């Protein structure tokens, strides 16, 4: 923000650039995926997937296990880069930046597209340090700012009241559901725009699951959320849009209501009615 604190002249200049940026580059969608192919070694696991992700909505990715939905999710913040022998073809844009070719440092994309994993994976550090981690590695040194953001994120993740007196306790002292909300708070702390969730409630009990689902409903006001789930009820409850993957193909994509009530494709219908999966 400091850069904006200069002369009035500069502010105008800056903001005008920003305006033109928005005009020129920003499409209607938060993320656009065009003709995406993906390989593990010689094994092609995604075929020509194209999809648009709308801002401040929840998009659910469903399909039987091994259908490529998790792989697809992990291409959106370039997590698959960390797996040797993977290859990608196609275009993924965040606003109008191509996340594979348009940036210098891959971590820039990961600070804008956060991720929550299937199993809660807090660091063996204190609750506070877990949430502060992303800020610290991205060069934020201001202690007060960090404290502020830690609190803000824990509040957003609906965990603050439970942990505010024990911020210096090890994250491993928390229950499974709390750990997962801690991981959500950790992802929120760096103020991402998009949050990827990879079956975030699959390892949790029903009560913790419903807390997470409530949380998703609240978070979408501020963030764009993409969630992988194998639980169709969950997809129906939390999402605005649903994409159905099967054997590496995007079979059908549309408003969740449509998909679950009037699926266009036979495959989709079979899946959501439980004929296979």
Interface with other proteins (CB under 8 A), residue from 138, 233, 247, 261: 138
Please, which residue, 159 or 236, has the CB nearer to other proteins?
Answer: 159
Please, which residue, 123 or 258, has the CB nearer to other proteins?
Answer: 123
Encoded one letter per residue, x for contact with other proteins by CB under 8 A and - for no contact, window 4-43 reads: -------------x--xx--xx------------------
Task: Let me know the angle formed at the C-alpha of 144 by 141 and 145, rounded to the nearest 5 degrees.
Answer: 65
What sign does the dihedral 223-224-230-235 (CA atoms) show?
positive
SS3 101: coil
Encoded one letter per residue, x for contact with other proteins by CB under 8 A and - for no contact, window 48-87 reads: -----------------------------x-x--x-----
Burial class of residue 139 in the structure, from the number of CB atoms within 10 Å of its CB (0-12 exposed, 13-18 middle, 19+ buried): exposed
Q: Name every residue whose Cβ is closer than 8 Å to that of residue 264 and which is 6 or more positions away in sequence.
A: 252, 254
Q: Which of 153, 78, 148, 140 is nearest to 108 (CA)?
A: 78
**117 in contact with other proteins (CB under 8 A):** yes
**114 in contact with other proteins (CB under 8 A):** yes
Q: How far is the CB of 113 from other proteins (least distance, A)?
A: 9
Which residues, numbered 173-212, are part of the site for other proteins (CB under 8 A)?
Answer: 183, 186-187, 190-193
Interface with other proteins (CB under 8 A), residue from 34, 54, 88, 103: 103
Q: Would you tell me how many other CB atoms lie within 10 Å of the CB of residue 216?
A: 24
For 200, how many CA atoms within 13 A lie in the half-sphere containing its CB? 33
Q: Which of 104, 111, 154, 158 is nearest to 129 (CA)?
A: 154
**102 in contact with other proteins (CB under 8 A):** yes
Chain contacts with other proteins (rule: CB under 8 A)? 1-3, 17, 20-21, 24-25, 77, 79, 82, 96-97, 102-108, 110-112, 114-115, 117, 119-125, 133-140, 149, 172, 183, 186-187, 190-193
């Amino acid at each position: 923000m400091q850069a904006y604190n200069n002369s009035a002249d500069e502010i105008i200049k800056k903001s005008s650039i920003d305006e033109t940026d928005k005009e020129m580059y920003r499409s209607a969608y938060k993320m656009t995926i065009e003709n995406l192919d993906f390989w593990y070694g010689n094994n092609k696991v995604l075929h020509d997937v194209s999809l648009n992700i709308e801002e401040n909505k929840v998009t659910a990715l469903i399909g039987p296990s091994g259908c490529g939905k998790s792989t697809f999710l992990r291409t959106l913040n370039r997590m698959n880069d960390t797996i040797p022998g993977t290859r990608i073809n196609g275009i993924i844009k965040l606003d109008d930046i191509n996340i594979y070719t348009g940036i210098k440092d891959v971590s820039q994309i990961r600070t804008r597209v956060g991720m929550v994993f299937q199993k809660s994976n807090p660091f063996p550090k204190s609750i506070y340090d877990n949430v502060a981690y992303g800020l610290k590695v991205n060069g934020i040194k201001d202690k007060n700012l960090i404290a502020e953001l830690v609190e803000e994120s824990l509040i957003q993740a609906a965990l603050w009241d439970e942990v505010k007196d024990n911020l210096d306790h090890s994250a491993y002292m928390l229950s499974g559901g709390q750990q997962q909300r801690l991981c959500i708070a950790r992802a929120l702390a760096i103020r991402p725009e998009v949050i990827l969730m990879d079956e975030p409630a699959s390892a949790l009990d029903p009560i913790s699951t419903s807390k997470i689902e409530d949380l998703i409903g609240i978070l979408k006001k501020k963030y764009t959320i993409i969630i992988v789930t194998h639980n169709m009820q969950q997809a129906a409850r939390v999402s605005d849009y649903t994409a159905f993957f099967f054997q590496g193909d995007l079979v059908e994509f549309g408003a969740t209501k449509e998909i679950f009530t009037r699926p266009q494709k036979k495959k989709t219908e079979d899946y959501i009615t439980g004929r296979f999966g």
